[in-house]
Every structure is written in C-alpha cells, then in structure tokens.
A and B are shown apart, each in its own frame.
Chain A
Amino acid sequence: MSLIQISGLKKSFQGTEVIKGLDFSLGKGKCIALLGPNGAGKTTTLRMLSGLMAPTSGTITFTDAKKGEDIRHFIGYLPQFPVFYEWMSGLEFLIYSGKLAGLKHKQAKERAMELLQLVGIMDAKNRRVGKYSGGMKQRLGIAQALIHSPELIMLDEPVSALDPLGRREVLDLLEGLKKETTILFSTHILNDAEEVCDEILFLHNGEIVESGTMNELRDRHQQAKIDFIFKTKSEEIETYFTNHELTQSVNIDGKRNSVFVKDIERARQIFLQEILEKNWPLEKFELSSMTLEDVFMKVVRK
C-alpha cells in the first residue's frame, strides 16, 4: 500500500535542472532513507514534497488525500536547520504548531507534553527556545513535526549536526517512531541509513540511481570483493589490479585496493602469488562482501 506517489518530479533553478525527474512511491509504515552525496538534491526533493517549494513539473499525490485537499495535513517536516521563535518556550512552540495544524488548545497541550517526553526535553519545556542547545532544538524540531500525528514525517539530515551521543539518541528515537508513522529521512551518512531504514533511495545529481530494500540492494550488488592494503601507495600495483583479466572493477582509496572479482577462489590464488613474487609490501588482506558504502561508491561513480 503506497502512501505517496511521486512522478516526473523536476526542479530547475535559473535554468539549471537540479532534480531531473524523480519517480518513486513510499510504502505506508516504512522507513525510507534518501541517500546521496552533498548537492545531490536531497533537500530540494524534501522541500518539494513538503510543499515549501513548487516543482517545475511533475506531480506528488497522496493516496489518502481528497482532491484539492491541503497535503500539509498529512506531513510533518523537519528542515535541516530548524528555527523557532526564540522568545517562545519549547512547550509554547509545540502548542502553537499543534493549534496551527488544527488541534484544540487542550489536545495540543496533551500531545505536546507527550512528545516532550518522547524526545526527552521535558525538563526544558518552559525554557525559552533561544536558550536551547543544538541537540535540543533538533529534538524540538522532531516533536513539532509529529505534533499533528501526520502520516508521513520527513526529516532533512536529522542527525548530521549532532554529536555521537545525540546521534545515537535520535536514531533510537526514529527506530521507535517507525511503528507509528512513515518516515522519510535524508542523510549522507551510510551507517545511519543502514541502521534504521528498510528501504533506500539513492539520489545522485538529481536522479534516483538506485533504490530498494537493504536486502534487495545486497543481492543485486553482491559481489566478491578482496581488499588489499599495502604499506605504501604504488601505481604499479594499482595498474596491475585494474588491468587484470579477473578484475571487474577496482576502488582505490589511498593504500587500500578493493578489487571486485567474479571468481574469488582463483583471484585470491593468483593475486597473492603475484604479490609474493613481486614482493609488494602487503599489510592486510581481506575477503568480504559489499557494504552499503561500496554500493554507494559504485552507483555514484557510474
């Protein structure tokens, strides 16, 4: 059951096409990561979905929305850098946004207290937002996105600006939210996506270059990989791996050569033999399957 359908979504800024036609749908109750390097168009996409920005062309359809209904009722949105009225207290801001979303004062207050508890800033509820720390603002931002119990919440880089501890807490929070609502969040940190999400959309240069569930992605990209780490970086070695007939592709990252091969047994034998013969300074050697990071690098290089 899909919650939202996006087709042919495009956006141009001053003639430059930033989003080049996106087609995807989000399943109800799923947690989807919008993954991509900086500048891929993640924020622009989320802004269009939230109604803050008009698409140049294309449509966004909510399955549950009646024709002409304001889709903002269905959405909670947390921008990358949430800003609040500094003179309000956290509780006041939540009640205010709840009322704007159509709740009665009493309901808004109850819901606000619930959410303050959930995101863990109950102690600071009467403090002015201007005095909040970055992490607290992020939590308040998540709370305000949830205030009207929307069907879809969109979070723009919710953990990128947090320290490891705060990051951990917000990720756990998202994990818990998965039960209540559909989550779409953008990130460039692969581990975060891998950790909480069921599905992944890879965005690169304004296009979706790869998508699917974690397992689908693994299956599709499953490839034997051998990592060789040498003491020094050497062109000779790199050329050897790159040009070898057993090699499908090579990722070179400093002294690390990640070689993708079909026949891992043969490749191991031949490569190791060669290394011994040439006496290349091998430091570490590892057989592994692909991580999300490898998939990421692969689709981005394409």
Chain B
Amino acid sequence: MIQWMTLLQKELLEMWRNFKWIWMPISFILIGVQKPITTYYMPQIIDSLGGLPEGAVLKIPTPTAREVIMQGLGEYTSLGALIIVLSTMGIIAAERKSGVAAMILVKPVSFTSFVTSKWAGGVLLMWLSFFIGCLTTWYYTGLLFDWVPFGEFLQAYFFYALWFTFILTVSVFFSSMLRTSGTAGFISLAVVIIVSIVSSTLSRWLEWSPAQLTSYANEILLDKGVSEYLLPAGLLAGVCIIILLALSVMIFRKKELAA
C-alpha cells in the first residue's frame, strides 16, 4: 500500500509537471461554459451576424435551465471522451516504449500496483477536471437562466463521470496492450464510439449498457425521474472497469518488458 501511494504520488506529480492539471480543467471549463452562454446570447449573436431577413419569423423558444444544463453536459460526451483518451492513451505504452517501465519494474514493484496506480491517477485527474467543468456549466446556467437543484446536478455529474471512467479504463487497457500510444488512442476511441452507437441505436434492448448512463443522467436533469435501468447500467460499468483493469494487469505482466 505504501508502495502504491508512492506510485500514485509520482503520477500526480508528473501530471503537475507536464501541466495536465492545468490544461485538463481548462479544456473542460471551455467545453462546459460554451452552451449556457451561446444559448443565452443567441438572439444577439444572430443580430450581430446581420439579423434575420425582413419578414422571417424565427421563434427560438427560450430553453429551460434544465434543458440548457443537459445540453451543456451533452457537449462533453464527444469532446470530453476525446480529451480523456488523448490524455491517457500513452499512460503505459509510452513508458514501456521509452524503457523507463523496465527501469521501474526491476525494482520489487508489483505489476498490479504499477497499472492501477496509473489508472487511479488518471481517474483522479479526470473526475476533478470534469467536476470543475460541470460546475461552470451549472453556475452559468444558474446565473443566466435558473438554478437547477445542486443534488440533481451532482447525480448527473456522477453518472457522466462513471461513463468517462469506463472510457478511461478502455484507454488504459489498450495502452497496456499496445506498444504505441497513437494506436492505443485510436482503437480506444473506435471502441467507445462503437459501444455508444450500438447502445443508442439498440437502446430498447441494451438498456443496461454503460453508454446509456449519460441518457439516464439527462433524464435526472430533465426531472423525468430515475430510470429503473440506471442501477444495472451503473453496476455493469463498474464490473467492466474492474475486468478491464484486471485484464490490463494480466496482459502487461505477460508482455516482455524488454526487447
């Protein structure tokens, strides 16, 4: 456990030294703040672009605060996933490729600690950055529209973050399996996109898919109540994460570190 903490500390320090602690929150804030602001200023934006032609009547219904915050979080599903994969795809592959993994693993370091501490570092960074991002969405929505109850917002945040943890774990898994970060990132994104598309097109049959977590979170935000599939989907996400992590450790252990 002491060793695991040492490894985690190193991860956190590394993310600080290479500014991940700065650019991750900033990217998430930029994504998060965009929706409430553009929605609020839409009439002015249209005006400044020359306005609507004479006679055209365009009724833009003012969205409710709940809709705005839901759309705001929705922005994260694609861009957020991309950021997460980009920031974790090299987490193991890069260290193995450079050879520094071999330097560390000739010390009596357990493979499980090595992989899980990296994962934990990534998860910590992601949950915090994403929280800060979501918080700005919530704040600006409250400021410009109306305040959405913080508890419901937190619930929605949690299930989004759980889905993102799943994405992050997929990325860690491919990073431990493949030698190059780029390939690991590409395949992770492909897998996540396929899971999302399949789950949303076959949503009737795949209610328990982790990819549905975001739509259930949206339902909470829209005050539609808690879906009965939220719990199974959440549990399945947890199980997938654990299995993927275990597989990552197994594959990593089997790989010849040197050569």
Contact = CB atoms under 8 A, between A and B. Distances in A.
Interface of A: 13, 43, 47, 50-54, 70, 72-73, 75-77, 79, 81-85, 87, 96-97, 99-102, 144, 148
A83 B258 contact: no
Which of B3, B17, B107, B258 gathers the greatest number of chain A CB atoms within 10 Å? B107
Interface string B171-189: 0000000000000000000
B24 to A, nearest CB: 17
Interface string B57-74: 000000000000000000
Interface of B: 2-3, 6-7, 10, 14, 17-18, 98-100, 102-109, 256-259
A84 B103 contact: yes
B14 A53 contact: no
Contacts of B258: 43, 47, 52-53, 79
Given A52-B257, A52-B258, A100 B103 contact: no
B257 A72 contact: no
A52 B100 contact: no
Contacts of B17: 87
B94 to A, nearest CB: 11
B106 A77 contact: yes
Contacts of B98: 83
A129 to B, nearest CB: 10
A52 B102 contact: yes
A84 B104 CA distance: 9
Nearest to B100: A83
A51 B106 contact: yes
Contacts of B14: 85, 87
14 contacts: A47-B258, A50-B106, A70-B108, A72-B106, A76-B106, A83-B102, A96-B6, A97-B107, A100-B6, A100-B7, A100-B104, A100-B108, A100-B109, A101-B108
Contacts of A100: 3, 6-7, 104, 107-109
A73 B106 contact: no
A85 B100 CA distance: 7
B3 A99 contact: yes
Contacts of A79: 99, 102-103, 258
Nearest to A51: B106
A148 to B, nearest CB: 7
Contact of B99 (A50, A72, A81, A148): A81
B105 A148 contact: no
Contacts of A83: 98-100, 102-103
Contacts of A47: 258-259
